[in-house]
Amino acid sequence: MPIRKIDPATALLVIDFQEGTRRFVGMVGPQVYSAAALLARAFRKRGLPVVLIITEGGRMGRTDSSPEGSDFVFPPEAQQPVPEIEQADSDIVIRRGAWGAFSGSDLQTLLLGKGVTQVVLCGTAASVGVESTARQAYDLGLNVTIALDAVSDFNPAAKSCSQANIYPLLAETGSAIEIIGGLDQP
């Protein structure tokens, strides 16, 4: 489906495009970072918020893939945004330890304080941080758009599943170029 509308009060959330995720996310290629950087430049040019979501890591409970649970913390150098995003002084940085960007952070308060009614998501992993954040934003009543060419995942099958089955229930989807085109529509 085409993107129907980008609200005037929209924020870009760039999820986990940081140095520490490069080694975990084999599907991040230059084209994914380029699409995210294109979005960030377009939002900045229009004075719209760009929020860099950085995962610090944290305590995770027991799961089938981690029976003992885990404590994982990215060292400070791994928490740096990738240079391809061209971080600007106007960018807002939110740090968190949970999968979704709203859990354990002041992101909701920040966005509501700015009158934001819609978020555009890009980042990694499509089936983890991006999907979790989309679910949370949707639950908060925000309009959600996901830039499909600006998301990646360490698991191609999980990315395909999220894009085909979950994103359409939570968001409008499109390319970075389509989203940028919507920024200037009334």
**C-beta of residue 35 within 8 angstroms of C-beta of residue 99:** no
Q: Is residue 93 part of a domain?
A: yes
Q: Is residue 55 part of a domain?
A: yes
Q: Is residue 1 part of a domain?
A: no
Q: Is residue 108 part of a domain?
A: yes
Give the CATH number, domain containing residue 44.
Answer: 3.40.50.850
What is the tally of structural domains in the chain?
1
Q: Is residue 5 part of a domain?
A: no
Q: Which residues contact 89 (CB under 8 A, 6 or more apart)?
A: none
Q: Is residue 118 part of a domain?
A: yes
Amino acid 59: pLDDT: 65
Amino acid 139: pLDDT: 96
pLDDT digits (tens, 9 = 90+) for 29-62: 788 899 999 999 999 999 999 999 998 876 666 6
Q: Is residue 153 part of a domain?
A: yes
The boundaries of the domain holding residue 32 are 10-183
pLDDT digits (tens, 9 = 90+) for 145-184: 999 999 987 888 888 878 888 888 999 999 999 999 999 8
**C-beta of residue 133 within 8 angstroms of C-beta of residue 139:** no
Q: Give φ, ψ of 50 to 5 degrees.
A: -115, 120
Q: Is residue 60 part of a domain?
A: yes
